[in-house]
Structure 1
């Protein structure tokens, strides 16, 4: 992955990253708040030898610095802790008290610093002072040669134990800063993992590379689709109307020399907006003066006629079984668009769609219309759409942003290729308006170019999923 890919992930998954940071910071704050404050008191000892000359003083300093590490170890041991417990009357065991003590020898010096940590600042000071006193006594005891009463080394307290002015732990600022850094790292990591695991189509590149066909139109998510699904319900300057005009223009360049075009509108799975797209592109073509016929070719769950408020009971299936001629069952919408409804739902739609009767009807209709738009079932659940597409100029796939996966799209393309049908292109549907420039190039001017003000969608209307 390149830097641009990571930046794209950050823009796309920033909510996940911010949420992760907040959760980690809140967890750190709770842990910090529940942690008992610890106070630390320190004392400093000077370990020296008695010398009568500068040469003896130099040798004594070397000797003292060599012994300093040993006394630092003794200061944290149980022997000195036992003496301190006895002196102070502390209720702690020598082992517990030793765990509270740190001793550090300053490099290239004869200074030894002893620190004791305790929840009570006064107790910490008392124990630290006792440690200093007892270590002075222990040094004198250990450094006095047998038979003599003067130690070779002596310890002197140069800094008495201080009363802590504030707790040394927990360090609120440090904990929150570390939590923020950890949250950022964790959030970015989760965002990258989720991006790698997420195979849904979120960019034009995802669609074109998987489908191996261009994007013919892009439609932003519009909460008004449920209330005004048809192109005839919109004023001409609205962005959705402009998007259909763009799609109509792009379709005109498909098989440009053909006198009559027949195009299947389908999708990978239900709920991606194929029926709404089929109806509206037919209305857009009719408005441009094309002799247009909309066929509701979904013989399982027909919806096109219902969107246009037409009776779907008599239509394609009625003509296929030979009860009437196809011209007798063509309906006319209020806009003037000719519509061939699905008719009664049959028990064997796939057999009807690949029959000679279907081929004859398509040939008859091609001679009568400039453009035929067929609303077909989804490709993956059933074979109907592939069967119809193999008999016409090709199929246009409606791809729903953030829902259709690349695997589903590839499966749909393979279904079409298996029957020798052409994949003419895709319609990228329900693209979020906000930040749509982040989803890759290839949208064209698409949806969103107009004079109507943009609105942030708050809910997804069910009718847009048709």
Structure 2
């Protein structure tokens, strides 16, 4: 998993994932926000605060003497007692007394809970300190605070043995909450949490999705060139299928795509008089057979005498694409059933074709036979180019056996279909038998893709119109 994420990690892809999934992230964020707001509304609670004020004396005799003027030193001495008094008010013994005196329900008002409800605060520079009680019930907050006021003077003096306190202001019934559950804050947090969690989920899923999406993803993984990009054709034939087979009347962008591929292959023939190119792929539905036909037709349209061989002895269907019965073909010849291979001549100008024939039970054995090697060697004397449609190497091993006759392999990958790990599998299989992999055909690229290099020719364009007769 980690290897997949690392190989698939690109800033551009992260931006693309977020961009394409943004509406879902927003929707999920809204749903989370609504849920959080609903929960907050149902479980919302208010907290009320009641405060009682005390005055501390350094000498207990001062409590009943109204004529005493306290000096600064005496105030400081009284202030020094505040911390001790605060600790006493939160002690277990004192809080038990408060629970008993106020007749609080001990099942709810335990000592630890009551302690958490109480806070003390000294007023700086004075001998005054305040005790605040916070409770969801405003009446209970006031009752507890005043109970503390009733018990504190005697309890504190009996324990500390010095100083004294008296109530300065009793607690009153609070009428407004000290703190309320913020529904708007919960909604905001829900929206943020939903957005972030959905973004992380979509990024993870996106980085785990190994289908080819951009050409740079292929180029980053393999030191193998892309020979050409075949656009996704949407125009339909009368039977409702896309018109993807190349001919003189094909769309300009389709003809130009195979012109690019053919031009690159012209330089990769190793100087052979008749190069043999094996077209393969990882899996079905990548366009391997269609590209085999179109590459062969592209050479034929150039005026090169070309032989197309359907060597997919398990699933070959080129004869069907040409609208003919397969009849006897390659398998019958290699199996010795017929002495001469059946060649369908001139299925298009300069293009001949050998079908699979019947599907044999031992296709691998037939493709490693001397008879197969001799057939291709003999036909190289009669043709300028030979194109072999092989089985999908990611599915069966038969395609690898074609290495014994192929000048080079061309690997077909399809945008949004082929996966990185499947590409890597077939590349490793071909490298293991020292096959020459001359390049990829990047099939099914959207004409709106940033990587598509013939955008100006879509629907012919001005250049396409002027070059309508160009092959």
TM-score (norm 2): 0.78
Cα separation, partners in 2 of 1:53 and 1:332, compared to 1, 3 Å = same
Question: Which residue of structure 2 lines up, in the alignment, with residue 102 of structure 1?
Answer: 117
1:201 Cα deviation from its structure 2 partner: 4.1
Confirm or deny that 1:143 pairs with 2:156.
yes
Q: Distance in 2 between matches of 1:128 and 1:45?
A: 11
Question: Which residue of structure 2 lines up, in the alignment, with residue 43 of structure 1?
Answer: 50
**Secondary structure of the corresponding residue to residue 228 of structure 2:** strand
Confirm or deny that 1:112 pairs with 2:127.
no
The match for 2:176 among 164, 172, 183 is 164
Question: Which residue of structure 2 lines up, in the alignment, with residue 462 of structure 1?
Answer: none
Q: Map 1:276-355 onto structure 2 (within 5 A).
A: 276-320=290-334, 321=336, 323=338, 325-326=340-341, 329-333=343-347, 337-355=351-369
Contact 2:224 2:440 in 1 (8 A): yes
1:277-313: CA deviations, max 9, x gaps?
A: 1122222222233322222111111122212223222
Moved more, 174-183 or 135-144: 174-183
Q: Give RMSD over aligned pairs.
A: 3.8
Question: Which residue of structure 2 lines up, in the alignment, with residue 459 of structure 1?
Answer: none
Question: Which residue of structure 2 lines up, in the alignment, with residue 456 of structure 1?
Answer: none
Cα separation, partners in 2 of 1:6 and 1:333, compared to 1, 3 Å = closer
Question: Which residue of structure 2 lines up, in the alignment, with residue 30 of structure 1?
Answer: 35
Q: Distance in 2 between matches of 1:430 and 1:384?
A: 25
Contact 2:412 2:441 in 1 (8 A): yes
Cα separation, partners in 2 of 1:205 and 1:391, compared to 1, 3 Å = same
Contact 1:231 1:283 in 2 (8 A): yes
Q: Distance in 1 between matches of 2:130 and 2:26?
A: 42
Count how many residue pairs are aligned between Structure 1 and Structure 2. 433
Moved more, 249-258 or 343-352: 249-258
Moved more, 374-383 or 247-256: 247-256
Question: Which residue of structure 2 lines up, in the alignment, with residue 236 of structure 1?
Answer: 251
Ranges in structure 2 where 5+ consecutive residues have no aligned partner: 63-68, 461-471
1:377 Cα deviation from its structure 2 partner: 0.3
Contact 1:81 1:98 in 2 (8 A): no
The match for 1:451 among 435, 458, 467 is 458
Question: Which residue of structure 2 lines up, in the alignment, with residue 11 of structure 1?
Answer: 15
Moved more, 242-251 or 8-17: 8-17
Q: Map 1:254-273 onto structure 2 (within 5 A).
A: 254-255=268-269, 257-273=271-287
Q: Map 1:140-219 onto structure 2 (within 5 A).
A: 140-145=153-158, 152-157=164-169, 160-164=172-176, 168-169=180-181, 171-191=182-202, 193-194=204-205, 197-219=208-230
Contact 1:47 1:68 in 2 (8 A): no
**Secondary structure of the corresponding residue to residue 224 of structure 2:** coil
Cα separation, partners in 2 of 1:99 and 1:48, compared to 1, 3 Å = closer
1:20 Cα deviation from its structure 2 partner: 6.0
Contact 1:401 1:430 in 2 (8 A): yes
Q: Distance in 2 between matches of 1:96 and 1:377?
A: 79
**Secondary structure of the corresponding residue to residue 259 of structure 1:** coil
For the pair shown, the structure with the greater C-alpha radius of gyration is: 2
Q: Distance in 2 between matches of 1:190 and 1:414?
A: 32
Contact 2:282 2:422 in 1 (8 A): yes
Question: Which residue of structure 1 lines up, in the alignment, with residue 466 of structure 2?
Answer: none
1:275 Cα deviation from its structure 2 partner: 0.9
Moved more, 239-248 or 191-200: 191-200
Cα separation, partners in 2 of 1:49 and 1:112, compared to 1, 3 Å = closer
Moved more, 207-216 or 193-202: 193-202
1:23 Cα deviation from its structure 2 partner: 4.0
Cα separation, partners in 2 of 1:335 and 1:99, compared to 1, 3 Å = farther
Q: Distance in 2 between matches of 1:374 and 1:38?
A: 76
Q: Distance in 2 between matches of 1:222 and 1:100?
A: 75
**Secondary structure of the corresponding residue to residue 381 of structure 2:** helix
TM-score (norm 1): 0.78
Q: Distance in 2 between matches of 1:95 and 1:173?
A: 33
Moved more, 150-159 or 334-343: 150-159
